[in-house]
Amino acid sequence: MPETTRELLTSGGWKELEFGPFRPDVTIHWIRPFEGDQPGVALLKYEAGASVPRHRHEGLETILVLEGTQSDEAGDYGEGSYLVNAAGTEHSVWSDTGCVVLIQWDRPVKILEEETA
């Protein structure tokens, strides 16, 4: 039996889940928070126009786009896209339309540049 289960995420089951603050216009639902040396797994919901500033991956990051489009400097990733960002890679992320992604981080990312008002 799985330790943690979220039903029917790929068909919108995430809409019933509670999300909390993460970054401006980006909310999070933790499926499994970081604990010790264990990876973190979460859902991120980006409002239209939301972004995460340039950051470095301190470990492997994997993303499955469940709805909408997520973008970075390399391109746009629509629903069903699966992304792998290796440790040591850097990018910024945004969503012009809004999106929801399932994400797993081996380690927390290091923010390299904060947004300026």
The neighbour count for residue 34, using CB atoms within 10 Å, is 15
**In whole angstroms, what is the distance from residue 39 CA to residue 54 CA?**
21
What confidence score (pLDDT) does residue 114 get? Answer: 65
What pLDDT is attached to residue 90?
Answer: 95
The confidence band for 88, taking pLDDT boundaries of 50, 70 and 90, is very high
CA-wise closest residue to 65 among 110, 98, 105: 98
pLDDT digits (tens, 9 = 90+) for 8-26: 888 898 999 999 999 999 9
Residues near 42 by beta carbon (within 8 Å), at least 6 away in sequence: 28, 29, 30, 31, 32, 33, 102, 103
- H helices of the chain, where? none
- Per-residue model confidence as pLDDT tens digits over 55-75: 999 999 999 999 999 999 999
